[in-house]
Structures are given as structure tokens and as C-alpha cells.
Structure 1
Amino acid sequence: MTLEVTTTPVAVPPSRAGALQALRRGQGLAGVILIGVIALAGVFAGVLSAYDPLVQIPGANLVGPSADHWLGTDHINRDVASRVLTGIRINLLIVFAAVPLGALIGSLVGLAATVNPIADVTAQRVFDLILAFPTLIFAIALAAITGPGWHAVVIVIVAAEIPIFGRQIRTAVLAVREQPFVEAAEVIGADTWWTLRKHVLPNVVEPLVVQFALSLSVGVFIEAAMSFIGIGVRPPDPSLGSLIGDSIANLEHNPFMAVGPLVVVAGLTLGFLLIAQALGRARRSV
């Protein structure tokens, strides 16, 4: 007599330890430190600089770097270092508000697309329409309609991230749904939403985390680019992009007007990219 034993495959949740370990060494640690230092500089801008970023300093027109003004002053007598530090805060506030919102909306749309064929076709056509327009062209068109400002930056970043997260979660969900443990759950009568919540979503979180870190770096660039061409954060509020734009006409007198914000934008972008690469490598090694 032969006994046949069958087992039902179960979902194995993604390893969080691998992701955390990736951020404690190598590229991941370098990215965390880089972002942490820049973010702390923005948070404590008022402590690190003795000057108000909006106040004009008498007799300090395009002064070079000194002990009093680390990056000198601009063409209307404002301390550049204090404006860069405040610009960090504004940039990160916009990015950390817009990217999660875009990720949430895109993920919900992507999930809905996997449940209903009509919703799937509609979502894919909307994603195609959004992706058909270059981001800056879309930003210029939006600013022409709603007017420039931080709200335009938020809308552009959200719109840019919706199709990215929507398609990524749709692809991941469709792939995971073909796994034996999901088929087993459906065979025993589990409904679609229960299967998505208990089996599918825990297995698609890791690629979304990697994409989230990558999207943060893109958000930094979009905010800086929009402010650089004058359709982002409006003067007199400082923005990293607008600071770079203001420096172009004054490079001969104080080149540090450009060096400061350029270094910060490069540091933020590089930091988020290092984190995304470390998380991606950890995910592939599992």
C-alpha cells in the first residue's frame, strides 16, 4: 500500500532583513548617510545660518565666500547659504509629499486593472497618454493652465509617477498570481481581494520599494528643473532650481551661487539612486 502525501504551497513573504542589511553597508549606507546629512541640514537651516533667506543685507552685493557668508551673497544682497539650506527643506517637502501620493494612486489603479479587464484596458490607455508627453513639456503646459508654483510641481510629479507604479504593480501582480500558492488559494474558494491582500501584495512590495527610492531621485530633479525654468517654486521663496537659474547671470562675480545648489541637487539624486541600487541588488540576491 502506497501513501501519497500532498502539500499545499504557501506564500513566502519577502525578506525584510535583506533590504535592511543592504542599507547598512556599501552603496546603501553611503546613500542613507548622504541623504541624512543633506536632510538634516535642511531641517536645521535656521540654526546653521544666522541670516534670513528672504532678508536683504545692506552693502553685501555679490560678496564672495567668507566666514560670515559661506557661499557669498546673491545679486540682491541675500545670503546664498541660508537660501540653499531653506531650498533643501522646500525640495524635500515637495518630493516626500508628491512621490508617495503618486505611488499610492498608481498602485491602486494598477491593482484595479488586474481585477477587471475593462479597467485594465482603460488604465493602460491612460498610462500611454501620460507617458506620451515628456515631463517638462507636460509641466510647461500645466503651468500655463494653472499658473506656476509648488502646486504645479506636485501635480507633475504625481502624474509622472502614476503610470510607473501602476504598470509595475500590475506586472508584478500578474506574475505572482501564476504561482502555485495563489492557484491553491483560489482552488479552495478564496475570493480575489482576499488572495490579493494575503498572498499577492506581500510578494510585490519589494519591487515597489526599489521603485519608490528611484522615484524620489526623479522627483528631486523634476522640482529643480521646473524651478530652474521659472514654473516651479515662486520667488522670493528659495528653491534649488531657482537658485541655479539666478546664478547664471552672476557666475563671474560669485560662482558659488551655482556651486552650492548644484552640489545639493547632485547629492540628493545620487543618494536616492544609491539606495535604490542597493535595494535592487538585495532583491535580486534573494
Structure 2
Amino acid sequence: MTSVVEKPVVAEDNSGAVSPLRALRGGQGLAGVLLVGVVALAGVLAGVLSAYDALAQIPGANLLGPNAEHWLGTDHLNRDVAARVLAGIRINLLIVLLAVPVGAVIGSLVGLAATVHPIADVAAQRVFDLILAFPSLIFAIALAAVTGPGWHAVVIVIIAAEIPIFGRQIRTAVLAVREQPFVEASEVIGAGTWWILRKHVLPNVLEPLGVQFALSLSVAVFIEGAMSFIGIGVRPPEPSLGSLIGESIANLDANPWMAIGPLTVVAALTLGFLLIAQALGRARRVA
């Protein structure tokens, strides 16, 4: 009679899973990285790419069309449009890259706290409901009426918009992972809470947060543009992508590139972050 030797049960090896870095090396991920990278590099090299200051008024250069000296022409105040677009990229990215991580951290901490006790969970959910009850632009208008318009208002609105999104996502992910058999098995063999959190919970929670982070960057670019466009974000003469589009409305017939330039950049940033989010999401499904 042939004896059957039972093999010991081992934890599933996910080493063959598609890593986030690999997902960004080709296809949608690479296209998104290139779009965002080119725009960000242009903003960083603004002083090299343009010979003009974003706030400098050039004598005799009123609403000129694109030419060899002024790539996107000039505006109604004799300023070089290309220089202002490049400076606007820098301001936009600084706001987005400050506000989204802060909102993600606060939201994640609140989401983690919600998993500790049912009372904390109920309190966190009511706070999230209260924030989500106000559309971002309505909240932005109310905030600007109290504190005044400016870049600080944009940062606060983006942070507030991201807190419930990240909070609910990490709460859902933690509760789902905590009920998995491999976590229960680790508890049975005596694994400590911090070991389980580090080895099982956090790796499974961080992946969906990475997808949401890239998506939130895309949304934040739109929020900054919308607030500055209606005059409650970054205030002139400081350039931002949204305020540049707003300034162009009255001069589209003389120089339409005043709008085409910043609109192209906003579209590139939004699409780039969205492609990165889609690539990371597809990598998670494959894994």
C-alpha cells in the first residue's frame, strides 16, 4: 500500500505578482509617467526654457500671436504667455503635491482609528458623511468667503476632499484583510499585533492606496484649475493654470493660445495621473 505524505501548508508566495514599478514601465503606466514627467520637467526648467519673467511686462508686446521669441504669444498686459504657463505648472504641482499627501495621511489615520472600536467607526463615518455632503466647489466658495481667496484655500479644499476618500478606503481594506485566513492563522501561532500589521495588513492596504493616490492627484489638478478659474484660488498676478485660463476668456479672439497653452498642460497632467492610476489598478487585478 502506497503511503501518502502530506505536504505542510505554506503561505502563498506572491513574489510573481506584478509590482507597481513594473506596471509603470510599459503601456498606460509608461505613457502616464512620460506625460507627467515632461510637464514637471518643463516647470522645473522654466527659467531655462523661457527668457522672460512670468510677471515682467514687455514694452510694445500687447496680445502678440505665437512667434520665435514668444512661443505662445503675449497677453493683454504684455507678458509672455509661455513664461506664465511654465510658472503656473510649478505652482500647480507644488499645491497638488502638498495637499494630496497631507489629505491622504490624515484620512488614512482616521480610517485606521475607525477600525479600533465601533464607537470610533461610527464617529469617523459621520465626519466623512459631513465632508462629502458639500461638493468641493461649494465648500471652496464658502471657505474663500471666510478666509479669502488664495493658494491656502486651494490646499485646504483638496485636503478636505481627500480625507473621506482615503479614510473609507483604508478602513474597508483593513477590515477585509483582518478577516483573511492567513491573518487568523498568524494569530493562532502566536504572532503579535505589530507583526501581523507589518507583514499582512499594511502590504495589502498600501496597494489600493497607491492607486487612489494617483487618481487623487488627477482630481486635485482639476480642483486647483477650477478654483483659480473662478477667482477663489491662486490670485493674479501670480500665474496658475486655472487663473491663466480665466484671464484668456476676454482675449480669445486676439490670441487663443492664451487658453490653449494652459488647457493643454491641465489635460496632460490630468490624463497622465489617470493613466498611472489605471496601470496600478490593472497590476493589482493581475496580481
Normalised by the size of structure 1, how large is the TM-score?
0.94
SS in 2 for 1:112: helix
Alignment match, 1:215? 216
Structure 2: runs of 5+ lacking an equivalent: none
* Separation in 2, partners of 1:82, 1:123: 45
Structure 1 residues 3 and 150: CA distance shift in structure 2, 3 A: same
Alignment match, 1:56? 57
1:224 to 2:225 alignment: yes
SS in 2 for 1:221: helix
Q: CA RMSD in A?
A: 1.8
Deviations 1:88-132 (A, max 9, x none): 000001101111111111111111111121111100000000011
Alignment-mate amino acid for residue 210 of structure 2: V
SS in 2 for 1:204: helix
1:116 to 2:122 alignment: no
Alignment-mate amino acid for residue 149 of structure 1: G
Counterpart contact for 1:11–1:199, Cα < 8 Å: no
1:181 to 2:182 alignment: yes
* Separation in 2, partners of 1:131, 1:12: 39
Alignment match, 1:38? 39
* Separation in 2, partners of 1:115, 1:53: 51
* Separation in 2, partners of 1:52, 1:80: 10
Q: CA deviation at 1:10?
A: 4.1
* Separation in 1, partners of 2:9, 2:241: 55
Aligned length: 285
Counterpart contact for 2:18–2:284, Cα < 8 Å: no
Q: CA deviation at 1:61?
A: 0.8
Deviations 1:60-81 (A, max 9, x none): 1111111111111111110000
Structure 1: runs of 5+ lacking an equivalent: none
* Separation in 2, partners of 1:238, 1:89: 9
Matches within 5 A, 1:1-286: 10=11, 17-286=18-287
Structure 1 residues 18 and 37: CA distance shift in structure 2, 3 A: same
* Separation in 2, partners of 1:265, 1:285: 30
Runs (4 or more) in structure 1 with deviation over 2 Å come to 2-18, 185-198
* Separation in 2, partners of 1:90, 1:189: 51
Identity of aligned residues (%): 80
* Separation in 2, partners of 1:14, 1:129: 41
Counterpart contact for 1:84–1:260, Cα < 8 Å: yes
Structure 1 residues 3 and 167: CA distance shift in structure 2, 3 A: same
